[in-house]
């Protein structure tokens, strides 16, 4: 059996007081999140960042600290049995729209209930439930704290360098430095 690893992100946006999640329809017909295989020596976070940009055309987003879950499945390809593990992060998009890649047939921003009912595989559906709960419990509180605390600070960007949050795009009181990554836990 061949082992394979992918990474991606449950990408959300907050629009008019409503949280929506981006779903992509793959060529075989499954609704899923932006994800793909690790290239070279990439870290999981780097893969997730690249895949969101490649598959959704979104560049202004942030992986959120404190959430990473995985699921796995087995499939046949080219006569080989492949065991794939997919690691998913949560990311907030600061862009209102996305662009459909050639890898997918359709894309939709869906509210939580619609997304849960649209996702076709159990693993991603369970992780969306956990991600939604994480956002409800932790992110909304953190967002309130960030609005109250305007002291700024540094974040680690997708290329591993530190960038000050000063001068970033500020929306809803959250600062963005492009495709920034904060310290997600390693498992």
pLDDT digit string, tens, across residues 111-136: 999 999 999 899 999 999 999 999 99
Domain count for the chain:
1
pLDDT digit string, tens, across residues 131-177: 999 999 987 655 555 544 443 433 333 443 333 333 333 333 333 33
Torsion sign, CA atoms 10, 172, 100, 158: negative
E-only strand ranges, the chain: 2-15, 18-26, 31-32, 35-37, 61-77, 80-93, 104-111, 154-157, 162-164, 169-171, 174-176, 180-181
Q: Residue 141 sits in a domain of what CATH number?
A: 3.90.79.10
Q: Is residue 97 part of a domain?
A: yes
Average pLDDT of the chain is: 79
Lookup: tokens for 1: 């059996």
Lookup: tokens for 138: 């932790």
94, 61 contact by CB (below 8 A): yes
Percent of all residues in the chain with a pLDDT value above 70, rounded to a whole number: 74
159, 104 contact by CB (below 8 A): no
Q: Tell me: pLDDT of 185 over 70.
A: no
Lookup: tokens for 139: 């992110």
Structural domain range at position 144: 2-181
pLDDT band at 104; cut points 50, 70, 90: confident
Strand partners, 108: 23
pLDDT on residue 101: 77
pLDDT on residue 182: 37
Q: Is residue 187 part of a domain?
A: no
Q: Tell me: pLDDT of 109 over 60.
A: yes
Distance between CA atoms of residues 129 and 116, nearest Å: 8
Q: Is residue 186 part of a domain?
A: no
Q: Is residue 69 part of a domain?
A: yes
- Locate tokens 């890649």: which residue? 101
Nearest to 49 by CA among 182, 186, 181: 181
Through-space distance between the first and last CA atoms of the chain, rounded to whole angstroms: 23
Look at 179 and 121; give whichever has higher pLDDT: 121
Q: Which of 50-54, 104-108, 151-155, 165-169 has the lowest mean pLDDT?
A: 165-169
DSSP H helix total and E strand total for the chain? 4, 12
């Amino acid at each position: 059996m061949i082992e394979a690893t992918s990474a991606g992100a449950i990408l959300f946006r907050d629009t008019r007081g409503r949280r929506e999640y981006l779903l992509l329809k793959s060529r075989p017909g499954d609704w899923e999140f932006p994800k793909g295989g690790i290239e070279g020596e990439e870290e999981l976070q780097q893969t997730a960042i690249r895949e969101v940009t490649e598959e959704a055309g979104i560049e202004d987003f942030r992986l959120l600290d404190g959430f990473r879950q995985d699921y796995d499945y087995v499939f046949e390809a080219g006569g080989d049995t492949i065991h794939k593990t997919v690691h998913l992060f949560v990311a907030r998009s600061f862009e209102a729209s996305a662009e459909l890649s050639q890898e997918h047939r359709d894309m939709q921003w869906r509210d939580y209930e619609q997304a849960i009912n649209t996702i076709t595989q159990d693993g991603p559906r369970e992780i969306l439930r956990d991600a939604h709960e994480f956002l409800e419990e932790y992110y909304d509180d953190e967002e309130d704290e960030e609005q109250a605390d305007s002291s700024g600070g540094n974040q680690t960007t997708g290329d591993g360098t530190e960038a000050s949050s000063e001068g970033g795009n500020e929306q809803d009181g959250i600062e963005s430095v492009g495709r920034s990554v904060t310290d997600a836990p390693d498992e």
